[in-house]
Amino acid sequence: MIGRRSLLILLNNVLGGFFGFFALKFVLALPPGSLGAYAWASATLGIAALVTSFGFPQAHIKRVNEGRDEATANATFFLIKLTLTTIFAVLTLGGYLVWKLVLGRGFTDATTEPIFVTCVAIYVLLSLRQFFDTVFLTHQHTARAESVLFVDTVTSVFSVVVAYSLWAVTNGRNPPLAGVGEFLVASWGIDRPLTADDAGLLLALAYCLGRGVSLVYAGLQFLVHRYPLSHARRDVYDSYKVLGFPLAIVAGLGVLYANIDRFFLGYFHEAAEVARFSAPLQILTPMLFVSTAVSTLLFPQFSRLDASGAHDKIRLQIHQSQRYMSMLLLPMLVLAFVFAREGINIFNEQYVDQANVLRILLVYVFFSVLASPSRMLLLGLGRPRRLLLLGLINVVVVTALILVLVPTWALDLRSMGAAIAAAAASIITYVYVKRQTRDVVGADYVPRGLVRQLVAATLVLAAASAVRASLGAETFHPWYALVAAGVGAGLLYVGLLFLLKEFRKEDFDFFLDLLHPGKMAGYVGDEMRPTGSEPRSPGTIDQPSKGKQ
């Protein structure tokens, strides 16, 4: 079932990625400063938003899967989330008022005050929604969790198109929803062309609406499926605190690592430079869904298997997940490397010069995806201190490299320097987590089958490069030409894997069963259908847990 759940997450993220690509075309059509201003505010507040978690979501998943009473656990976790979200809002908005009114300071040109405040609202809504997301994932109710993400994606994408249409109408362009844009212009009495700052605010408001609608939907799912909820208890909080606080530091360092590049780009340069890094990163983001699909499910699985002492099953799941993730990821990396300029050009030609930034970020994507199962293993085994050291190393490495590569008073590589820093840190992450998990899964720095997969990928890369050179790069400017190239490269890759005996009959049977539409529809229908009874505690699904309390 973990395979079908992983596929559901992957399919939902692929569909979300399709919608996201659709929206990204309009986002990148806005002035570069618009995306940069939003990305900088989002990254900066993303660092501050670590206050809203402090490792408690992971602690909740682990404790409930170890056998904690879920009704009291849910109530305690909800109270914790509400308190932490309030603290975040007070600290960020209060800090902003002190910065402006008491110190008399203003923002840099990396963002604006309205965008900053709207991003605070985005993280408040996202933090509250995380309660419901965590409860669904605790039970591995994947269809419910993914439906929340889908509602967020659809709402955000539609809102982004409306935002672009509003900006475009006032600037003399012909957007897809021109009628909606004209209606809003007339309703709001807009009598001037909207600026890049205005467009950045509209972008932030679009994503804020997506978070708000998905929060309401998640709450309805929680009520319809009657998840247990009673009273918060201090002993449950104390149990969470023991695990949560070390995880909080790990999560905080992870958030800092994920956002520090855009923060420094905006600090040392202007908002447009943040956009030049964010654009290729957003294009590659769907590739990270491969790890999201598997890792989302591995953490509760590892927690449960660890509590029952089934380390042999953990080892099997690690090896299988690594093999299938690399098998799916490598052809996408090859296509992105060969057709980097053509891929970016589909969205907006003003970013095609960032093709080399995209290629460097492929290294970051590859090692981040392959390291994700081992990261989940360390969390599932309750060893966050090992990840704490990794977080410290990553932050130090990224910060040091950025200070050398990004500022004007150093090498001034700007977005290229930020990409190099991210790639270097991902390699360190991979080596470190492999070393830390060798006692459980063995010292497999090169996962099973990866060498044969790399040989096949290299041959596909050579073939795709030859085709591009012979036909000319302009042949692949239309999106359908890239799709055709992708289909051809994928078929060639599978054929090479078959010849190299890396893709076997059992793999074919696995994917055939996994992709069976009837079985997938049955699984989703069963999970989304209200049962009229409370969900069973995850800790009792397989066998009673005698694990840690």
Unique residue bearing structure tokens 């395979």: 3
pLDDT at 328: 84
pTM: 0.69
Confidence band of 540 (pLDDT split at 50, 70, 90): very low
Cα gap 417→154, rounded to integer Å = 34
- DSSP category for residue 225: T
pLDDT at 281: 87
Q: Residue 227: give the domain boundaries.
A: 34-42+79-232
CA dihedral angle for residue 226, residue 229, residue 230, residue 232, rounded to 10 degrees: 180
Q: Would residue 501 count as lying in a domain? A: no
Query: 438 versus 131: which is more confidently predicted?
Result: 131
Angstrom distances, CA of residue 510 to CA of 298, 386, 392, 501, 505: 18, 34, 39, 16, 8
Q: Would residue 9 count as lying in a domain? A: no
In sequence order, what are the residues at sequence separation of 6 or more whose Cβ sits closer than 8 angstroms to the Cβ of residue 322?
370, 373, 444, 447, 448, 450
Confidence band of 470 (pLDDT split at 50, 70, 90): very high
Structural domains in the chain (count): 1
pLDDT at 253: 72
Cα gap 298→278, rounded to integer Å = 29
Cα gap 402→363, rounded to integer Å = 17
3-state secondary structure of 519: helix
Q: Would residue 451 count as lying in a domain? A: no
Render pLDDT for 8-62 as a digit per residue (tens, 0 to 9): 555 555 565 556 667 778 888 888 778 888 888 888 888 788 788 777 887 788 7
Stretch 320-329: mean pLDDT: 83
Q: What phi and psi values does residue 29 have, to the nearest 5 degrees?
A: -80, -15
Q: What is the mean pLDDT of the chain?
A: 81
Q: What value does the CA radius of gyration of the chain take, rounded to a whole number of Å?
A: 24
Confidence band of 547 (pLDDT split at 50, 70, 90): very low
Stretch 135-152: mean pLDDT: 82
pLDDT of residue 397 exceeding 80: yes
Cα gap 398→426, rounded to integer Å = 10
Stretch 60-69: mean pLDDT: 79
pLDDT at 285: 80
Stretch 96-114: mean pLDDT: 73
Confidence band of 424 (pLDDT split at 50, 70, 90): very high
pLDDT at 103: 67
Q: Would residue 436 count as lying in a domain? A: no
Q: Would residue 383 count as lying in a domain? A: no
Q: Would residue 335 count as lying in a domain? A: no
pLDDT at 371: 87
pLDDT at 549: 31
pLDDT at 191: 87
Confidence band of 513 (pLDDT split at 50, 70, 90): low
Query: 518 versus 309: which is more confidently predicted?
Result: 309
Q: Would residue 162 count as lying in a domain? A: yes
Query: 319 versus 8: which is more confidently predicted?
Result: 319
Q: Would residue 508 count as lying in a domain? A: no
Residue 175 burial (10 A CB sphere; 0-12, 13-18, 19+): buried
Candidates 377, 367, 358, 281; CA nearest to 325 is 367
pLDDT at 516: 54
pLDDT at 3: 46
Confidence band of 545 (pLDDT split at 50, 70, 90): very low
Q: What tokens does 41 get?
A: 């505010």
pLDDT of residue 86 exceeding 90: yes
Confidence band of 217 (pLDDT split at 50, 70, 90): very high
pLDDT at 190: 87
The share of the chain scoring above pLDDT 90, in percent, equals: 28
pLDDT at 15: 60
Q: Which of 12-16, 175-179, 449-453, 466-470 has the lowest mean pLDDT?
A: 12-16
Residues 272-290 as b/e (b if ≥16 CB within 10 A, e otherwise) read bbbbbbbbbbbbbbbbbbb
pLDDT at 131: 93
Write the DSSP string, 389-418: HHHHHHHHHHHHHHHHHSSTTTT--THHHH
Cα gap 543→350, rounded to integer Å = 57
Cα gap 270→272, rounded to integer Å = 5
pLDDT of residue 196 exceeding 70: yes
Q: What tokens does 333 get?
A: 């990396």
